């Protein structure tokens, strides 16, 4: 499967964040090797991320010697909580916690029975399907999961990508250097 | 003091059993992160303190309903964000909610955003002070709609995995992915609008 730019671009953020599954990352890398525009978009994604590193470091610095948490805050809050202060200030409930599903309420039992019945049906069908698939097939034996690539391929793709990206944008500073 | 810090869940259990000190330990453990999180919604220190306090008070009230499907921390973040938004709404500083519905994700009309652009990527200048970059980043963040600010804050400041962000906001991982994608695009646009000089970074 080949990715179009429209499919590739929304994946770039997750790719830069390291949150893409390996199979989706492999698809994207393949596209990036061929598409200069999306490669630039990936560089953009990395640049945007770079804005946050110094900001995060600053925040951690100020949190380390946090002057703004009043002394005795925790004990005071615990005391109020145990004295019955609920923290609800009469605001609208719209933004307050959305209800979390509560198990075992009236209709839930019926629902569970129905789901169990459906699951049982699916299990039977699956069991039959598995038996069928275990029969010797006529086709050739092959490893057909093309999404899992050998490590060597992944590495060589990454090297090619690095080579392509390398000199284009060196002026993007090292975030660590910015703090010095 | 204990040699090994107690797990959140045992502190939760002890709190539910009526131990006030255990709840105090939970507050102490997370107060710094909650203050930092809430500061993204208001700068006024008194308001921040009120919101964080109410966050913990609500957490205590709702502790029996804590499902333990997510970590105590992500559960707390969820309460803190909702309390912050509720607070802003009550004082008439209604947070800008997404005008376009972000839940729709990348469909139909929004798919046009999903093409690679050739506009330059703003990148902080190496000569700039870390403090200056941090100030600009905060300024830009404060000017983008809350719905986008929140995902960026959870990802970039709280360093949360997509799954945790999904838990905090009660949305799917796919929505986290598309919302972050659009949040970064908004961040970049707003940054370049406020500081066009960073757009020259690529020449």
Whether A25 is covered by a domain: the verdict is yes
Cβ pair B31:A69 closer than 8 A:
yes
Q: Which residue has the higher pLDDT, B119 or A53?
A: A53
Stronger pLDDT, B107 or A90, i.e. the higher one? A90
Check whether A51 has a pLDDT greater than 90: no
Residue A39 forms part of a structural domain:
yes
For residue B51, the surrounding DSSP H or E stretch is: helix B45-62
Mean pLDDT by 10 residues, chain B (203 residues): 71 94 95 91 90 96 85 93 90 58 40 54 69 87 91 92 92 92 91 83 44
Give the domains, in start order, of chain B with CATH numbers.
Answer: 8-90 (1.10.1740.10), 102-202 (1.10.10.10)
Q: Does the pLDDT of residue A180 top 60, yes or no?
A: no
* Residue A73 maps to a domain: no
| pLDDT score for A159 | 85
Radius of gyration of chain B (CA): 19
CA distance B201 to B203: 6
SS (H, E, C) chain A: CCCCHHHHHHHHHHHHCCCCCHHHHHHHHHHHHHCHHHHHHHHHHHHHHHHHHHHHHHHHHHHHCCCCCCCCHHHHHHHHHHCCCCCCCCCCCCCCCCCCCCCCCHHHHHHHHHHHHHHHHHHHHHHHHHHHHHCCCCCCCCCCCCCCCCHHHHHHHHHHHHHHHHHHHCCCCCHHHHCC
**Under 8 Å between Cβ of A155 and A26:** no
- Cross-chain CB nearest to A177 (options B49, B116, B126): B126
Partner A contacted by B130 (CB < 8 A): yes
CB contact under 8 A, A81 and B122: no
Residue A169 pLDDT > 80: no
The Cβ of residue B29 has, within 10 Å, a number of other Cβ atoms equal to 17
In a domain, A135, yes or no: no
Given a cut of 70, is residue A55 above it in pLDDT? yes
Closest-approach residue (CA) in chain B for A65: B32
Is the residue at A115 inside a domain? Answer: no
Residue A41 lies in a domain: yes
pLDDT band at A50 (very low <50, low <70, confident <90, very high): confident
- Look at residue A5 and tell me if it is in a domain: yes
For position B93, what pLDDT does the model report? 73
Whether residue A97 and residue B78 make contact (CB cut-off 8 A), yes or no, is: yes
pLDDT tens for B150-173 read: 999 999 988 899 999 999 998 999
Contact state of A172 with B111 under an 8 Å Cβ cutoff: no
When pLDDT is averaged across residues A141-163 and rounded to a whole number, the result is 72
ipTM: 0.74
Q: A8 lies in which domain range?
A: 1-48+153-168
> CB–CB of B26/B11 below 8 Å?
yes
Instruction: Select the more confidently predicted residue: A46 or A170.
Output: A46
Q: Chain A interface, mutation test: which of B43, B104, B114, B144, most A Cβ atoms within 10 Å? A: B114
Predicted model pTM: 0.68
A138 in any annotated domain: no
Residue range A24-41: mean pLDDT, rounded? 93
Residue A41 with chain B: CB contacts under 8 Å: 116-117
Q: At what angle do helices A36-64 and B130-142 cross, to 10 degrees?
A: 110
What total number of domains does chain A contain? 1
A26 pLDDT exceeds 90?
yes
């Amino acid at each position: 499967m080949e990715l179009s730019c429209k499919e590739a671009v929304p994946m770039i953020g997750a790719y830069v964040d390291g949150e893409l599954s390996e199979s989706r990352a492999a698809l994207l890398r393949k596209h990036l090797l061929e598409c200069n525009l999306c490669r630039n978009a990936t560089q953009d994604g990395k640049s945007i991320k770079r804005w946050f590193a110094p900001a995060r470091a600053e925040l951690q610095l100020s949190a380390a010697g946090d002057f703004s948490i009043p002394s005795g805050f925790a004990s005071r809050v615990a005391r109020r909580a145990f004295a019955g202060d609920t923290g609800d200030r009469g605001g609208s409930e719209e933004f307050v916690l959305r209800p979390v599903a509560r198990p075992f309420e009236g209709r839930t039992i019926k629902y569970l029975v129905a789901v169990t019945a459906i699951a049982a049906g699916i299990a039977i069908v699956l069991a039959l399907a598995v038996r069928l698939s275990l029969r010797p097939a006529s086709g050739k034996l092959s490893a057909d999961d093309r999404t899992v690539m050998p490590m060597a391929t992944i590495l060589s793709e990454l090297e090619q990508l690095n080579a392509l990206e390398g000199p284009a944008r060196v002026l993007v500073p090292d975030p660590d250097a910015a703090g010095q | 003091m204990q040699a090994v810090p107690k797990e959140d869940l045992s502190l939760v259990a002890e709190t539910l059993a009526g131990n006030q000190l255990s709840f105090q330990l939970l507050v102490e453990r997370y107060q710094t992160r909650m203050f930092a999180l809430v500061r993204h919604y208001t700068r006024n220190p008194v308001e921040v303190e009120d919101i964080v306090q109410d966050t913990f008070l609500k957490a205590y009230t709702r502790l029996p309903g804590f499902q333990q499907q997510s970590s105590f921390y992500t559960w707390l973040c969820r309460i803190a964000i909702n309390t912050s938004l509720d607070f802003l709404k009550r004082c008439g500083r209604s947070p800008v909610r997404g005008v376009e519905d972000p839940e729709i994700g990348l469909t139909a009309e929004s798919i046009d955003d999903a093409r690679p652009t050739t506009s330059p990527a703003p990148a902080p200048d190496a000569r700039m002070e870390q403090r200056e970059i941090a100030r600009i980043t905060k300024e830009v963040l404060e000017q983008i709609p809350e719905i986008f600010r929140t995902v960026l804050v959870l990802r970039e400041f709280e360093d949360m995995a997509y799954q945790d962000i999904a838990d905090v906001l009660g949305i799917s991982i796919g929505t986290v992915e598309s919302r972050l994608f659009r949040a970064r695009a908004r961040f970049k646009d707003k940054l370049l609008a406020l500081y066009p000089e960073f757009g020259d970074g690529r020449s």
